[in-house]
Chains A and B, each alone.
Chain A
Amino acid sequence: MTSSDLTRLSAEQIHEVLIRKEASAEEICREHLKRIQQQDPEVRAYLTVSAERALEQAKKVDLRIAEGGRLPDLAGVPVAVKDVILTRGVRTTCGSKMLEDYVPPYSATAVDRLEAEGAVILGKVNCDEFAMGSSTENSAYFPTHNPIDLTRVPGGSSGGSAAAVAAHLATAALGSDTGGSIRQPAAFCGVMGMMGTYGRVSRYGLVAFASSLDHIGPFGRTVRDVALLLKAIAGRDPADSTSADVPVPDYAATLEDGVQGFTVGVPKEYFEGLNPEIGDNIQKGIDRLEALGCKVTSVRLPHTEYAVACYYIICTAEASSNLARYDGVRYGFRSADFKGLREMYRKTRDAGFGAEVKRRIMLGTYVLSSGYYEAYYHKAQQVRTLIARDFIEAFDEVDAIVTPTAPHPAFGLGERIDDPLQMYLGDIYTVTASLAGIPGISVPCGRTRSAPHLPVGMQIFAKHFDEARLLQVARAFEKSGGLENGSDQ
């Protein structure tokens, strides 16, 4: 096996290669580190590469193989971790100057669980500051480039995770999704990205943005890899009271069961104002699911058009409260120039936060402030009930819902950064599931017809805790060749 092949393997293939002793975990790790050194100056996915720690973990895996012990599914699999997820001893910046030198004293439960399964954490990947954004341009350090077209954004906020997986700078990755931050960059970069049910994965050690919406979830190049990562990180965690006490099924075991007899719902609300080339691909994706044995029917999600407004009130309100902790006292940046405590807070926060974070803190503070709370925050919480109810009613009739992930393909770097409202409106198809708390995945669904032929993502929703069925639909689509082998490509 040539060394460049090692970065093209899926987690499943790495497992086989290790068992057959065709390569060691250390070799696989070194090949990824080498590729990061060669390719990442162009892509700029990584903020911090933790080479030593990665090699140490890889050697442990090799030792385990030498001892003949059982090899966990993720042993030796190189993983990139979004920089809003804590890694003990490895700098975690949240893409913010506020936490430029922050070295966490503990790891997120999701990271601990991956490492316990033998996964090799290669480093920390770029994101919009505190996960606020849809392009990774709000990173305080540098923007990440889309590996498919380096002049374009990778999406966001988990743009570094998506780009790293797409560019083979990691086999898989962890991201976080609050309103689409895993699914949208997965669509933009042509990889798989999944958000489980709210509560499916512990958020202990995920730096909080909007707590009623935040999720940790996996990226991969195959559905099976996503299923393996989700299985590893899911399940009740006493350290997170919002993690659900619901059994975690073996997602990989039912992956190949097919979709014969499944009913798939298509909501017309998700096809309005859509880039027509994306619409074409999604329609072909739906046709494919039908050919695979799904019954396709239309469903109504009538409150969809209110979702962006509802989401941006709730997430900014929660952000303004969560980010109050950055005051220059316990961790992070402190302004050098101040008179008295209050001025220290204010100057620290003004200098430590970037424009989008300040904008959201301001919005959130406004909608929670006396005289506005009822009209904005309370109202948005009521509308959230209506959006969640739409889904519950739809899932009475269907097993899964299929939509586009984003209304447009990856846009150019710098193209939208000066118009925050325009940026927010691009989240229309992803914020709905976040508000309802249902799981969603974005799977590659061909490329746009016209040059530069950008990746299109098809989104699949399932009802609460029905990730197994969602992954089955995704796998059936992938196995059929997606649209890559379709007649139009």
Chain B
Amino acid sequence: MPGYRDKVMRDVMRWAERGLIAPDAVEAIRADLAARRSGFNLPQALALLGGILLVLAALTFVGANWTEIPRLVRLLLLGAALVVSYAAAVRFYLSDHSAFGQVALLVGCGVYGASIMLVAQMYHVSGNPVDAVLAWALGTTLAAAAFRAPAVWVLAFALFALWSLWIVRDTEAVHWAYLAVLAGMAGLAWWMPFAAARYLVALAVCAWVLLLSPLEGAYEGQYVTLAIGLVIAAAGAAAMFLRDGVPESVRLLAPVTMLSGYVIAFGALFVLQFLDESQLSAFIVLAVFTIALSIGVLVIGRARDHAPTLWLAYIGFSVEVIGIYFQTVGTLLNTSVFFLTVGIVVIGLAWLALKLTRRAEART
């Protein structure tokens, strides 16, 4: 994160100018930041884009169904590409270029998917691509595990998501097996270790829970979804406030758990308020509750100094207010009075927060 490094260095220079830290320390901090650089640099990012283009080339090569080359030769070509990709991955890993190694693995898994497509094409297999996508996802998961490669994990995760969505579309029923897949993929990411995977897993859990109610087809279902979301959010929030001796894993997972719960609860509240037909009185209760929930998340984000929580709470609050505006414009409920009330309440909360902070500061 160059942005973070620049920001820290600006502060460090300022502190050095004011004599708060020794000039030696400035150089030490600069060296530490340089050593800790992570994520993509330009060559790796370009290699990743190149790898994605190679995968697309393999897939369209199959799609074109070019009869000038016999099918057997096409199959052997893909087999050779498979071997070359993994040989390249071995080469890169051994020369300590694991990022390039991951791109080679991605190409290999793409070629594997193209080979499955070619078999389906050769034998005119139609209809359900579900099994083919599952076979692709499983093979890709194996590659991710064998090399502990995060980028390959992401591809496998995306393929599993596609597989599940296809099954849901075909059956219009809750896909329980996907929960087991999510647990397995989360366990794999834990073992690798690949910490950023938690965001993707959280996103998938949110989507799965939010799909429960529409697939079961019950109005009350949204209240169940809401309850699930609130329980998850409460558990995550409680974990965020644990003080001493908290394991690193809990510290990593607590915010993302709380935010998942918030997203799920917010989704259910949104449907109840704006997509279902609801009584005016029920609507007011739900709207007030949604705003209170968003403010609660905002307060937690502030208290734990967690920027993503703050941002998500701001977004939730804004979406809710815009929704209320569209829902109530020109109806019985006087929009202006509603906003006036909410505005006064929020400003009152700000004042209260200020008081509490002052008191806390006075005590220390």
**A and B: bona fide binding partners:** no
